[in-house]
Structure 1
Amino acid sequence: MLLFINQIQLGGISMADKKTVYKLFNIIPISVLLMMLVAGKSATKNISLKTTSLIDKERLIPILMYHHVGAENIETNKITITNKRFEEDIRYLKDNGYTAISFKELVDYVNNGTSLPEKPIIITFDDGLDDNYKYAYPILKKNHMKATIFAIGSRIGIKNYNNDPRYSYFTWEEAKEMYESGIIEIQPHSYDLHYYKENSHHGEGVLPMALEDENFHYDRFLKDTEEVIKLIKTKVGCDSYVYAYPYGKYNSTNEKVLKDLNFKVTLTTKSEYADISNGLYGLKRINVPSHKKLGELLKY
């Protein structure tokens, strides 16, 4: 029977999809499959789409990205939502069968084949803002939902950064409390490299400065990363193994530093599902803006 299948032209289908077609003989009557195969090119395209969808849940993981979660009267935008909206998001996840997992669970799944829940999702926050502690953390704790906060090490504990009350950061004591709850992990978002290019002598985020050679860039990023690793370990007790790039920008030198420091996962800000089929570096995340409901952003 497999020989017969091979003699039929499966145009436009990859080897992986052909294997899936073979497997379908175990669950679909042969007569039905033959009708699908002889229907021509359009039918084979439909088979390709269907078989691709069968493996999406194995290679695509939704990683949500939040920043500000504020009071109900806060001005919302693409990175700022209200605490009420955040609670609605968490309720949506629970009602629709999602289980929030940690990055450790994701690493174990990829490296060791450890099983994941039927509908895994990862919740992340960037920067280490105090509204994460004040509003998001209690909601997560009440609903037993795990999350990871990526902290800018040099800003922890600072209130009204650059005289802007929106940019106030939780303290190390609060970070430790969240970590010890078993709900939250604290991971690096740089020590002091979270700057726009036009506002700083730095490059944009962790990218090189103007005229900076690769060796100097390597050493500068290495020093900054070692500093934030040390702080998080000393103040919180958490080992660093996931790095969220400021503004999602990075290059091969940044990746080399993090590999040398044994980081397991790196994250960007490109708003899409994370494709884990090619490893855990440069994973995309789904930004959650105020103007879109969570259900609009999730594919399954």
Structure 2
Amino acid sequence: MLIRVVFSLLLLLSGSASASLLSQQGQPARYMQTTEDAIIWAQVGNDVVTVGNVRAGQILAVVPTRADYYEFNFGFGTGFIDKGHLEPVQGKQRVEDNLGDLNKPLSNQNLITWRDTPVYNAPDVGSAPFGTLADNLRYPIIGKLKDRLNQTWYQIRIGNRLAWVSSLDAQPDNGIPVLTYHHILRDEENTRFRHTSTTTSVRAFSNQMTWLRDQGYTTLSMYQLEGYVRNKMNLPARAVVITFDDGLKSVNRYAWPVLRAYGFKATAFIISSRIKRHPQKWEPKSLQFMSVSELKEIQDVFDVQSHTHFLHRVDAYHRPILLSRSYHNILFDFARSRRGLSQFNPHVLYLSYPFGGYNATAIQAANDAGFHMAVTTVTGKVKPGDNPFLLKRLYILRTDSLEAMSRLVSNQPQG
């Protein structure tokens, strides 16, 4: 069953919304009732996974397919349920009478599941159970209310059904962490950059990646982060974006093998004017940049994106020169960077501002140059509805403990 679902998804555009899916197939939704408890699947990130179950006797709006499963709206994407678990709704009663207002917009807020989470037909634990949501999901919320005991309930929509989740069983989504790194060195060779916050040790980085792996985190691409910001993609609860700025040779030498060993993905924001024609001999006392061949070598892990072309400099007052450049100068540089990086990636859609510096002119130029999003060095997590050209990031320092990393990365509110 799952293999057939995966095959079907290969025919679809990644992250396509259910409404467009229905129109592509030309099939109107129909209301069906579950005859028994039924497992449901959906695409979450890059994988099709079990996302919960629906109890017997529940009504869903589904779309017929040629396969032996139906499709239905699940979050920002498509869910799948075996046809053998459904039958036409019995009786003459209008199904819609019991479904509430299905035109309510989403609230730009998700809930997060950390265990199998009960879903109810009403905001009351005594109401009939609708089913469950699986562990490790982000799911969009329509609204909230408090019951007579002052307990908060989240209203959600599954297969055109309104349903409820208790805040005792799920958490509000506090955003996705985007981790920032630059330079990595072994402790014994780091004689020059030991006290710079942008340099971490191979040991610390490896321990941090091990922690992410052991905690079950998925590493996301910037494309997936865009789907999250724009409310267009289902993503797991335990998710993180890993970014490296500048394009230093140490990324190839030390970060790439660790990430590859764990099956992780990352984004490399490259200063396109500093790419070397040929690899340099390793010299840990210098800031060396990757060559063309080294950049191509790491592309099984790293997605290459822009850190500008000539704008990664400071003026006499140690301020980013981008802040003093004209709109046309910035736009020209952004376009030149995208062209220069096209040999590694035909879809250079994301930008990291040099030194985190930006202003209204740079934001406008980034948009006009064709970038979809840009990251800053402002501390915080990324949330749905954030300005896509002012995305926050987090630094995990060489001296930070794994407990400190856990506090930053996990789904805790940021102060």
**TM-score tier after normalising by the smaller chain length:** 0.7 to 0.9
What is residue 231 of structure 1 aligned with on the other side?
Answer: 340
Residue in structure 2 matching 1:282, options 390, 393, 399: 390
Alpha-carbon contact 1:232-1:239 (below 8 Å) kept:
no
Name the aligned partner's letter for residue 165 of structure 1: K
What is residue 305 of structure 2 aligned with on the other side?
Answer: 187
Q: CA RMSD in A?
A: 3.0
Point out which structure has higher relative CO (alpha carbons under 8 A, 6+ apart). 1
What is residue 70 of structure 1 aligned with on the other side?
Answer: 185
Alpha-carbon contact 2:123-2:147 (below 8 Å) kept:
no
SS of corresponding position for 1:113? coil
Residue in structure 1 matching 2:331, options 218, 222, 227: 222
Name the aligned partner's letter for residue 391 of structure 2: L
CA distance in 1, matches of 2:244, 2:345: 19
Q: Does 1:142 align with 2:251?
A: no
CA distance in 2, matches of 1:193, 1:254: 11
What is the 5 A alignment of 1:77-116?
77-111=196-230, 113-116=232-235
CA distance in 2, matches of 1:257, 1:64: 25
CA distance in 1, matches of 2:329, 2:354: 15
Name the aligned partner's letter for residue 298 of structure 1: V
TM-score (norm 2): 0.55
What is residue 48 of structure 2 aligned with on the other side?
Answer: none
What is the 5 A alignment of 1:12-27?
26-27=123-124
What are the superposed Cα offsets for residues 130-178 of structure 1, whole Å, 9 maximum, x if unpaired? 0001000011111110000111111122999xx9933111111111121
What is residue 178 of structure 1 aligned with on the other side?
Answer: 298
Alpha-carbon contact 1:157-1:168 (below 8 Å) kept:
no
Percentage of matched positions with identical amino acids: 26
**Residues 1:85 and 1:238: Cα distance change in structure 2 (over 3 Å):** farther
Residue in structure 2 matching 1:56, options 173, 181, 200: 173
**Residues 1:291 and 1:193: Cα distance change in structure 2 (over 3 Å):** same
Q: How many residues align?
A: 252
CA distance in 2, matches of 1:129, 1:167: 7
Alpha-carbon contact 2:375-2:392 (below 8 Å) kept:
yes
What is residue 208 of structure 1 aligned with on the other side?
Answer: 324
Give the unaligned 5+ runs of structure 2. Answer: 1-106, 112-119, 128-145, 152-166
Name the aligned partner's letter for residue 36 of structure 1: N
**Residues 1:68 and 1:24: Cα distance change in structure 2 (over 3 Å):** farther
Please report how far the alpha carbon of residue 26 of structure 1 lies from its aligned counterpart in structure 2 after TM superposition. Answer: 2.1
SS of corresponding position for 1:92? helix
Alpha-carbon contact 2:313-2:321 (below 8 Å) kept:
yes
Please report how far the alpha carbon of residue 24 of structure 1 lies from its aligned counterpart in structure 2 after TM superposition. Answer: 10
Please report how far the alpha carbon of residue 25 of structure 1 lies from its aligned counterpart in structure 2 after TM superposition. Answer: 5.5
**Residues 1:165 and 1:224: Cα distance change in structure 2 (over 3 Å):** farther
Q: Does 1:132 align with 2:229?
A: no
**Residues 1:228 and 1:102: Cα distance change in structure 2 (over 3 Å):** same
CA distance in 2, matches of 1:299, 1:27: 29
What is residue 40 of structure 2 aligned with on the other side?
Answer: none
Name the aligned partner's letter for residue 83 of structure 1: V
CA distance in 2, matches of 1:156, 1:129: 9
Alpha-carbon contact 2:252-2:290 (below 8 Å) kept:
yes
Please report how far the alpha carbon of residue 239 of structure 1 lies from its aligned counterpart in structure 2 after TM superposition. Answer: 2.1
Alpha-carbon contact 1:176-1:237 (below 8 Å) kept:
no
What are the superposed Cα offsets for residues 93-152 of structure 1, whole Å, 9 maximum, x if unpaired? 111121001011222344462211231110001110100010000111111100001111
Please report how far the alpha carbon of residue 258 of structure 1 lies from its aligned counterpart in structure 2 after TM superposition. Answer: 1.4
CA distance in 2, matches of 1:273, 1:205: 26
Name the aligned partner's letter for residue 292 of structure 2: W
What are the superposed Cα offsets for residues 25-66 of structure 1, whole Å, 9 maximum, x if unpaired? 624469x942438xxxxxxxxxxxx79x93324xx1100000
What are the superposed Cα offsets for residues 270-297 of structure 1, whole Å, 9 maximum, x if unpaired? 1211233234220000012122132242
Residue in structure 2 matching 1:273, options 356, 381, 384: 381
CA distance in 2, matches of 1:287, 1:166: 22
What is residue 250 of structure 1 aligned with on the other side?
Answer: 358
What is residue 285 of structure 2 aligned with on the other side?
Answer: 165
Mean CA deviation greater in 70-79 or 88-97? 70-79
**Residues 1:27 and 1:80: Cα distance change in structure 2 (over 3 Å):** farther
Give the unaligned 5+ runs of structure 1. Answer: 1-15, 38-49, 210-216
**Residues 1:238 and 1:142: Cα distance change in structure 2 (over 3 Å):** farther
Instruction: Judging by fraction of residues, say which structure has more helix.
Output: 1
CA distance in 2, matches of 1:93, 1:87: 10
CA distance in 2, matches of 1:204, 1:237: 26
What is residue 34 of structure 1 aligned with on the other side?
Answer: 148
